[in-house]
Amino acid sequence: MPAFPLHDIEATVHVFRQRFTSSPLGARLARHLASYRLQDWGVPAGSAVGDIAALLIAELAANAATHGRVPGADFELELSLTPELLRIDVSDSHARRPPGPGALVEARLEQDGGRGLMLVEALADRWEVVDRAPRGKTVRAELDRQR
């Protein structure tokens, strides 16, 4: 069997994971801590990725705290940053799944809500809704770092 030379691969992967109470305060805290973490990783507010990430995190955290709320259960935010992309995962324990990419229905003008995931669809490079064991779901959004 021929030997192949090994090459060093330099890839920095940053991961931040935190649980928050399913409340408006928890959603606000998630948004602020994520902003500080991204700044620490070199993705500052005011940059294209930083600003879009802040909007996505705010929307997904608010959705988890409002629509994904299960009494006694928290929601979880996980950020993963590689040289190529930023992944935002927001998980909750509610069994109801929102419509995924391409399946959103436009909200009527008189409705108070129903536009958040349309914002996610418009801003994220990719997004999806995946089942979470043992219950619940994760809404995942990805941003390419090269903008």
**Residue range 76-113, pLDDT digits in tens:** 999 999 999 999 999 999 888 776 676 556 655 555 55
Q: Does the pLDDT of residue 115 top 80, yes or no?
A: no
Task: Residue 53: name the closest of 66, 65, 44 by CA.
Answer: 44
Q: How confident is the model at residue 130 (pLDDT cuts 50, 70, 90)?
A: very high
Domain count, the chain: 1
In this structure, what CATH number is given to the domain that contains residue 91? 3.30.565.10
Whether residue 2 lies inside any domain: the answer is no
Q: How far apart are CA 65 and CA 20, in angstroms?
A: 9
Residue 143 one-letter amino acid: L
Residue 128 one-letter amino acid: E
Full-model pTM: 0.84
71 to 3, 75, 92: CA distances (angstroms): 57, 11, 11
Q: How confident is the model at residue 71 (pLDDT cuts 50, 70, 90)?
A: confident
**DSSP label at residue 27:** H
Whether residue 91 lies inside any domain: the answer is yes
Check residue 14 and give its pLDDT.
95
**Residue range 3-37, pLDDT digits in tens:** 556 555 566 799 999 999 999 999 999 999 999 99
Check residue 103 and give its pLDDT.
59
Whether residue 119 lies inside any domain: the answer is yes
Distance of CA 4 to the CA centre of its chain: 39
- Residue-number span of the structural domain to which 42 is assigned: 14-101+114-144
Task: Residue 90: name the closest of 71, 104, 77 by CA.
Answer: 77
Whether residue 1 lies inside any domain: the answer is no
Whether residue 125 lies inside any domain: the answer is yes
Whether residue 36 lies inside any domain: the answer is yes
Q: Does the pLDDT of residue 41 top 90, yes or no?
A: yes
Check residue 20 and give its pLDDT.
97
Whether residue 93 lies inside any domain: the answer is yes
Whether residue 108 lies inside any domain: the answer is no
DSSP-assigned states of every residue in 29-77: HHHHHHHHHHHHTT--TTSHHHHHHHHHHHHHHHHHHHTS--TT--EEE
